Structure 1
């Protein structure tokens, strides 16, 4: 009995170790030629049929027909299937939230209400865990990068985040983003009135620009907070504002113009009402593609045509879901597919999952499209990637084929096997 128990524990330890090594293995650069694909570049070349993509040292070297494979380069026959850039997983807490119901595994927000509650210097990327089991769960669905976001805790100014490639690397790429929540969802953090949010924002700007003495007893920012906010006010990174009501979006556009800051909108359930103004201000909007009901008083005008109407007005549209986005990143392409079914052109739906977020957050020189010089973050699909009946057949990050397995698939396979000498839970 004791020996059986020891064997069971040994198998369990080995299984957990193998899962950890698999989930966190760094993705190394590789040379590869992908032949005969329907290449959706998400860029200026559009869609190229019966085309090839050559990758050297993790970087795309050439895109075209009839490319020759240099010696030692692996060749993959795509058999005409769609090849796209790796998808954007939305604004998530992947890597800083493991189990949403367990506070010890959630590092996404800061609450310092007894001190200075507004801490824009809080940088959630410092807690990012590249060993998170959520990363392979997203990768097997074709997602290669995410915008790691800070969530509101003790302040409607949540803090900073950044773009993380889901390749096992520990550090963000590109400039930081600052996260702010406006509207009814932040009223409890701003004196129970959305009007106070603009009062507080005006004071924060005055402090960051030196119009309020740093030793003022009424100061809201630390010296570090002033320095960080000053960078965003100078255009060094976007301020991502979670906001839904058209009236609040209108005030945001006025504030952004007055302060000359770069903003992006997350949520934007009623953004379609201000499409022309958003397009003129060049404000990208990351909508919840499934929001079609008046879930609260900030979303009375929610519609499944939101993305299509914004695109028709000239707005750059992306997607980011509300709710438990970290554990459900795989569902984001359903948002794009629904938007396409409700009038968004297919090419714009693909761009919303690839090029638009890369451009909005300053990393389009590296990822987001299939073009020479870009990192080879690619996905080969079984069919139309915006139709959830299809799946990601293979993901490459930096030219390296990522194992298409996760903790969920490992558990599925474990319990599908017939029981042997040990219970299936302890089988290797």
Structure 2
């Protein structure tokens, strides 16, 4: 069987020969198969494929080939040293400040202008097989309800870029406790903000929660945009499901420690859930139902499952694949774990037609591994993005090489 898609003639060609191809698509895993790439796209998958004399041929020798991995929700390009405020641009208010601007909620906060494509953390993530990640703002003092707008980053060298539609990050429950409001108070402010955003006119002199820019952003997201609810407690997840039914917004759950308790409702609503596979012991009272079987239970119910490691999102985004291996150890099927790092992530953020699968017509964002990619000891032997070989050197490997040479 050979899967083929059209591509422009004369484009640069690459053939990866004899790989164990994990397509994360209908064909499943294809042993001893070739992947033909031209002009940055996959044009054919099969056995015994031939290419022109000018094509580059990579002998895989049976090694696993997967789509590039999703690094989860991160501060890549927005955070360098967590305790050095001048290098942290994830919040609307600088680290150490006491309150948000003007006392207003700021759903319009967009950190994209501060994105640093030269961050060494990006090279580290890419060398470990991560080719895309959500670059997201974090709540700041007084602005915990709406953290701001997150954007997907493609981590290709030499210049990583942000692309795709934006996602509004909404924090509720314990995640928004810094506002000094009860949970009921948080929902009250959310309803008032929605009313402001949808109102045709606002009464003069009435106290407002949103700026004109904030109203425009929230109105657009409610009318078909993407809103991520950072919640853990089952009751808050039920509120998010009701919110999705009430508005045209495409809702995601982030955290979801107790999502397994609402698995059937989440599956029926086709709401993706981004969870930490290592979530086990509760970090607060919203997570009393935490379990290492969360992923397996959600997948069994048919919930679109995506993995993230918020605690290590910026500095160790690559560790999300190790966490996925832990989910397999606690009942999740191996193929489902890989999908949670690839296809499901791309589809959750509207990029499923471009990445996340190995199929004709898809971007050639691929990783060739030394072994099972969900094993801790496995390394990414080579990464390609748009069919272009990516540099595997990082700041860490440069320092290693320097000291091995004896340089001072």
The TM tier, using the shorter chain, reads over 0.9
Structure of higher CA gyration radius: 1
3-state SS of 1:115 partner: helix
Q: Deviations over 1:218-244 (max 9, x none)?
A: 1111111111111110113x1112111
8 A contact 1:116–1:222 mirrored in 2? no
Q: Given the alignment, which residue of 173, 176, 181 partners 2:166?
A: 176
Unaligned runs of 5+ in 1: 1-28
Q: Given the alignment, which residue of 99, 104, 118 partners 1:117?
A: 104
Deviation at 1:114, TM superposition (A): 4.4
- Judging changes above 3 Å, is the alpha-carbon distance between structure 1 residues 182 and 212 closer, same or farther for their aligned structure 2 residues? farther
1:100 equivalent in alignment to 2:86: no
Q: Deviations over 1:92-146 (max 9, x none)?
A: 0100111111110111111363414311111122211111111111011100000
**Equivalent position of 1:409 in the other structure:** 397
Q: Given the alignment, which residue of 322, 345, 348 partners 2:336?
A: 348
**Equivalent position of 1:79 in the other structure:** 61
1:307 equivalent in alignment to 2:295: yes
**Equivalent position of 1:389 in the other structure:** 377
**Equivalent position of 2:221 in the other structure:** 232
Q: 1:117 and 1:330 mapped to 2: Cα distance? A: 36
Q: 1:143 and 1:393 mapped to 2: Cα distance? A: 13
8 A contact 1:206–1:212 mirrored in 2? no
- Judging changes above 3 Å, is the alpha-carbon distance between structure 1 residues 142 and 30 closer, same or farther for their aligned structure 2 residues? farther
1:257 equivalent in alignment to 2:241: no
Q: 1:94 and 1:102 mapped to 2: Cα distance? A: 15
Deviation at 1:207, TM superposition (A): 1.1
8 A contact 2:104–2:211 mirrored in 1? no
3-state SS of 1:144 partner: strand
8 A contact 1:37–1:82 mirrored in 2? yes
**Equivalent position of 2:8 in the other structure:** none
3-state SS of 1:162 partner: strand
Measured on the aligned residues, the alpha-carbon RMSD in Å equals 1.5
Residue pairs, 1:34-183, within 5 angstroms: 34-111=16-93, 113-153=100-140, 154-155=142-143, 156-168=145-157, 169=159, 171-183=161-173
Structure 1 stretch displaced more, 153-162 or 268-277? 153-162
Q: Given the alignment, which residue of 278, 282, 285 partners 1:294?
A: 282
Q: Deviations over 1:12-68 (max 9, x none)?
A: xxxxxxxxxxxxxxxxx9521000001101112211111111111111111111110
Unaligned runs of 5+ in 2: 1-10, 94-98
**Equivalent position of 1:205 in the other structure:** 194
Q: Given the alignment, which residue of 178, 182, 187 partners 2:177?
A: 187
Q: Deviations over 1:322-346 (max 9, x none)?
A: 3231001111001111111111111
Q: 2:101 and 2:164 mapped to 1: Cα distance? A: 33
Q: 1:92 and 1:216 mapped to 2: Cα distance? A: 39
- Judging changes above 3 Å, is the alpha-carbon distance between structure 1 residues 413 and 180 closer, same or farther for their aligned structure 2 residues? same
Q: 1:117 and 1:56 mapped to 2: Cα distance? A: 50
Deviation at 1:210, TM superposition (A): 1.2
8 A contact 1:33–1:75 mirrored in 2? yes
8 A contact 1:125–1:171 mirrored in 2? no
Q: 1:359 and 1:255 mapped to 2: Cα distance? A: 20
- Judging changes above 3 Å, is the alpha-carbon distance between structure 1 residues 162 and 246 closer, same or farther for their aligned structure 2 residues? same
8 A contact 1:119–1:157 mirrored in 2? yes
- Judging changes above 3 Å, is the alpha-carbon distance between structure 1 residues 184 and 333 closer, same or farther for their aligned structure 2 residues? same
TM-score (norm. length: structure 2): 0.92
- Judging changes above 3 Å, is the alpha-carbon distance between structure 1 residues 374 and 216 closer, same or farther for their aligned structure 2 residues? farther
Deviation at 1:187, TM superposition (A): 1.7
Q: 1:344 and 1:45 mapped to 2: Cα distance? A: 20
- Judging changes above 3 Å, is the alpha-carbon distance between structure 1 residues 326 and 215 closer, same or farther for their aligned structure 2 residues? farther
